[in-house]
Structure 1
Amino acid sequence: MFDANLSMLFTELPLLERPAAARAAGFDAVEIWWPFADAVPETREVEAFEAAIGDAGVRLVGLNLHAGDMPAGDRGLTSWPGREAEFRTNVEVTVAIAARLGCRTLNALHGNFPTTAQTIDNYRFAADVAAEAGAQIVLEPLSGAPDYPIRTARQAFDVIDRIDRGNVKLLADLYHLATNGDDLDALADHVDRIGHVQIADAPGRGEPGTGELDLFGHLRKLRANGYTGFVGAEYRPVTNSFSWRDNA
């Protein structure tokens, strides 16, 4: 089951038109980075976003928490000293949106700071609030962000072990992990700890088939070992075709 990442795909369209474009392209589900400029958006912005999802007839299966100024290099508030209150308020707003839309996976990017006791407390807070809505928190290793400390699945698992909440799992982005030199074959041994999977080919971060990764081979191994969740298409399109899905 593939879902379309609306922050990477259909970017030629205004944000609120992308859910319908995804539906027209054959996707029944979508995911998105934090779609607002602020940690606490205005009610009208939230209502417009939720209406766009509902009117398009797609399911929201992944939503990022506010990550700061992403174009400027920010990669999450969870570990950011001094922004704890902002982070926790955003958690509550994000979980409320997710609850209304039936979204069960929330991506809390770690941030460009070392993991401290406060980071762990922030993750526990997010996990506990998410659990009330039947949702999970996922922690994502990233590439291309030199200050971001979580680059491999093992590093993510080490933090997840410290958080010690059953609804905190790994977001396995095969592009980021492969770019960082991680062992994608080993992921199949940890399916029970994976909350979500995303794909893009490497090098280049284009659609499957534009790089050198055996993405579908890795997905088959994950499925064979019990992964039943969605797989997010989070790539920079080289073409306007989604024919790669025919080979999955």
Structure 2
Amino acid sequence: MIDVTAAAQHRYTVNLSILFSELPLLERPAAAAAAGFTAAELWWPFGESATPAEAELDALRKAFTDAGVQLTGLNFLDDLSLGVRGTVSVPAAKDRFRANVPVAAELAASLGAEALNALYGNRVEGVDPAEQDALALENLVLAARAAHEIGAILLVEALNRPESPDYPLVSAAAAVEVVDKVNAATGLGNAKFLCDLYHLAMNGEDPAAVIETYADRFGHVQIADNPGRNEPGTGGLDFEDLFARLTAAGYTGRIGLEYRPSTGVSADSFEWLPRELRSAG
């Protein structure tokens, strides 16, 4: 178990798109609550549907409210169910992404979410990367403004190259560069870096150095151990040290648990985090 002193300095939110995925989506908030969590986040939960039926949205809202769990973060349309890593920079997904922006923002607002994550999207064969980057900036500006309207931040995430070889943002520096461009374009300052310590480690970056360099740009932190993408304590990352570094750097946001349980049973993967620390506070 990770030292309680280091872990106790932070608030946690459980990603229900990867944890409790052995259950139907609408049962996951209650399962998270039963495990002691009061906050959860989601990838876009409606597959390739950018504008799901109101009944589907209402059912998800009810699942969260009935469980007493706050939605803290939500992805915009990401097409992860299609094996894609986001839609922001993909020309063929332009209309779908833009139709999704107000839907995702309204859903996030209705459940108290503080952050919306816009995955950048893969490079497309035959399309000029500069064209994709220009489209991405246009879409991220729209997304940042929508997030601002509900009092939320926009997150830009770096993924890892081994698992996402066509995704262009594979370093903290690359993601932060996009964040800075969005903020310069909107003047809102609400675009932030989603620092996923697992992806950084998979890319060969030093997570401690990233915290030292970019902590003031962090909007959210996510964790999984490396290798394996399982719960802390199953790999080689020193989470006691990383949690302490986040505290020292002044990070006060939540830490998202975005890992696969090593045994395949989500409820058994939280022993590293004492139950009294699972509530978001």
- TM above 0.5: yes
Q: Which amino acid aligns with 1:127?
A: A
Alpha-carbon contact 2:156-2:192 (below 8 Å) kept: yes
Q: 1:188 deviation in Å?
A: 2.5
Q: 1:78 deviation in Å?
A: 0.3
Alpha-carbon contact 2:231-2:269 (below 8 Å) kept: no
- 2:250 and 2:91 map into 1 onto residues whose CA distance is 38
2:92 match: 82
- 2:76 and 2:136 map into 1 onto residues whose CA distance is 15
Q: Secondary structure at the match of 2:256?
A: strand
> Is structure 2 residue 179 aligned with structure 1 residue 160?
yes
Alpha-carbon contact 1:187-1:222 (below 8 Å) kept: no
2:34 match: 24
RMSD: 1.5
Q: Secondary structure at the match of 1:82?
A: helix
Matches within 5 A, 1:136-147: 136-143=153-160, 144-147=163-166
2:17 match: 7
- 2:247 and 2:72 map into 1 onto residues whose CA distance is 18
> Is structure 2 residue 78 aligned with structure 1 residue 54?
no
Alpha-carbon contact 1:188-1:221 (below 8 Å) kept: yes
1:193 match: 217
Q: 1:81 deviation in Å?
A: 0.9
The C-alpha deviation readout for 1:122-161, integer Å capped at 9, x for no partner, is 1011001110110111011112111000011101011112
2:7 match: none
Alpha-carbon contact 1:200-1:206 (below 8 Å) kept: yes
**Worse overlay, 10-19 or 81-90:** 81-90
2:246 match: 222
The C-alpha deviation readout for 1:143-200, integer Å capped at 9, x for no partner, is 2111000011101011112212411111111001110011211232322200000000
Alpha-carbon contact 1:3-1:233 (below 8 Å) kept: yes
Q: 1:243 deviation in Å?
A: 1.1
**Worse overlay, 79-88 or 103-112:** 79-88
Higher relative contact order (CA 8 A, sep 6+): 2
The C-alpha deviation readout for 1:36-95, integer Å capped at 9, x for no partner, is 120110100000000000000011111111112x24421111000132221111111000
Q: Secondary structure at the match of 1:30?
A: strand
TM-score by length of 2: 0.85
Q: Which amino acid aligns with 2:19?
A: L
TM-score by length of 1: 0.96
- 1:197 and 1:29 map into 2 onto residues whose CA distance is 14
Can you give the 5+ residue segments of structure 1 that lack an aligned partner in the other structure?
none
> Is structure 2 residue 59 aligned with structure 1 residue 36?
no
1:149 match: 168
Q: 1:215 deviation in Å?
A: 2.0
- 1:19 and 1:206 map into 2 onto residues whose CA distance is 20
Q: Count matched residues.
A: 247
- 2:56 and 2:21 map into 1 onto residues whose CA distance is 18
